[in-house]
Amino acid sequence: MTIDLHLPGAKDDSAKWRAHLVLGAFANALKEVSRVGTFGAQKYTPYGWVTVPNAHERYLDAFLRHYLAFAAGEVNDPESGLSHLAHAAWNILAVIELIKREQIASVKVVNPV
C-alpha cells in the first residue's frame, strides 16, 4: 500500500537500512560477540582496541586464527572459553569499524560560509 507522502502519517522508509533485521535476527550471535568484547575489555581495557598499532592487519590475523581453529575442530577458544566463531566475528567487526571510522574522518567538511 502506498500512501501519499504529503498526507499526515506518511513516512518513506523504502531506501533506508533496517537495523532490526540484524540486531533482532542475530540476537543470540551478537550476545556471544558481546561476551568476547567483555572478555577483551577485562583482559586489556575498554575501547583500547581502537588505538592498537597496525590494527587492521592484527585483527585480520586474529580473525583467521580463530576461524582456522574452528575449522580444525576446536569449538571454543582455550583461553577465554568462548566460541572461536564469536572471536572471529568480533575481530572482523573491529576491522570494519576501524575502516569506516577512517573513511568518515577522511571526509573533508566544506564550510560554505
Q: What is the pLDDT of residue 113?
A: 66
Q: What is the pLDDT of residue 14?
A: 84
Distance CA 80, CA 65 (A): 14
What residues have CB less than 8 Å from 108, skipping those under 6 apart?
Answer: none
Tell me if 97 is assigned to some domain: yes
The listed range with the strongest mean pLDDT (1-5, 6-10, 48-52, 106-110) is: 48-52
What residues have CB less than 8 Å from 67, skipping those under 6 apart?
Answer: 84, 85, 88
- pTM to 2 decimals? 0.85
Q: Does residue 1 carry a pLDDT above 60? A: no
Q: How many separate domains does the chain show? A: 1
Residue 35: which domain range? 29-105
Tell me if 111 is assigned to some domain: no
Q: Which three cell numbers stand for residue 21?
A: 533485521
Q: Which three cell numbers stand for residue 39?
A: 572478555
Tell me if 13 is assigned to some domain: no
